[in-house]
Amino acid sequence: MSTVRSIERRLYIRRQADRDVASQVAATTVEAPRHMDWNGVWTGYLAFVGFAVLLVSFVLGIGFSALNPAAAGSWAGVGAGAMAWSVVMLLVATFAGAWVAGRTPRTSRRQGMMRGLVLWGMILATMLWVVGGAAGVAMSAAGGLAGSALSSVAGGHAATVQGVLRTNGISLTSAQAAAIAAQLMAGDRAGAAGTLAADANITTTRAASLLNQVPPLPAAGAASTAGEAVKTGGARAAWGLFWVSLIGLGCALLGGAVGGAGLQRRPLRPTSQPA
């Protein structure tokens, strides 16, 4: 009888050891973090889009509801205010999307930050695509308007040059007067004098004297002012994009870390049976 009990006990101990090994293997397999889960990243991206549309539309709705169409100051502040609050809402949506991307089982804090980094890159690519397309259309329209305005100004200056020359007994065609006016607008008075001397068959000294009678052309100053405005606006936009992208990266990493540390599955405990 004692021999039978001894055999049963040895078999029970062996089965218990096998169950313990199987439980440890299962726990190790469950706890193994996934280095990259694109399902989580795409889920976080779609969550970002949803949060961004919801929050930005909410802010714009409040802003336009408070707008007073009859007050000029109200129109002046609506653009800056809407842009600032939209940027804040986009940063909040980035944090929420990264949190969703990292909020999956078997995800560590580090893996959540990695998913937040990938999500940040996808968000920047989308924003550059959307904003770049809108900016391209706006720049094309502005370039067309600037070209039309410059052509109109150049035509007026050509008429001014032609009138001064006719007063001094020199007749030139509209095309010749336009070429001379363009050189004067560019600041090349020596070249304009040479062109006038060749077209009117006069000396360069007399041509320079005649061009001194032409009133100062303000186009160069206007072009310089427009160029300075473009330079200032471009610098502000570039630095603004840099800081918004940097803060957005911090929000994405923080959201992924918080989400990744939120769900940690506990290891399976081996079951014990009484002897």
Supply the pLDDT for residue 201. 82
Residues 6+ apart with CB under 8 A from 123: 45, 48, 94, 97, 248, 252
Question: How sure is the predictor about 138, in pLDDT bands with cuts at 50, 70 and 90?
Answer: low
| Averaged confidence pLDDT in the chain | 75
N-to-C CA span, the chain = 17
Alpha carbons 212 and 32: distance in angstroms, whole number: 84
Alpha-helical (H) ranges within 2-108 are 2-31, 38-65, 72-102
- Given a cut of 50, is residue 245 above it in pLDDT? yes
Least Cα distance to 237 among 158, 123, 138 occurs for 138
C-alpha span between 101 and 121 (Å, rounded): 13
Would you state the pLDDT for residue 32?
A: 47
pLDDT digits (tens, 9 = 90+) for 17-62: 777 766 665 555 444 445 567 888 899 999 999 999 999 888 888 8
Per-residue pLDDT tens digits for 182-199: 777 777 778 888 888 888
DSSP assignment letter at 269: P
Give residue 90's Cα distance to chain centre. Answer: 11
The pLDDT, as a whole number, for residue 78 is 67
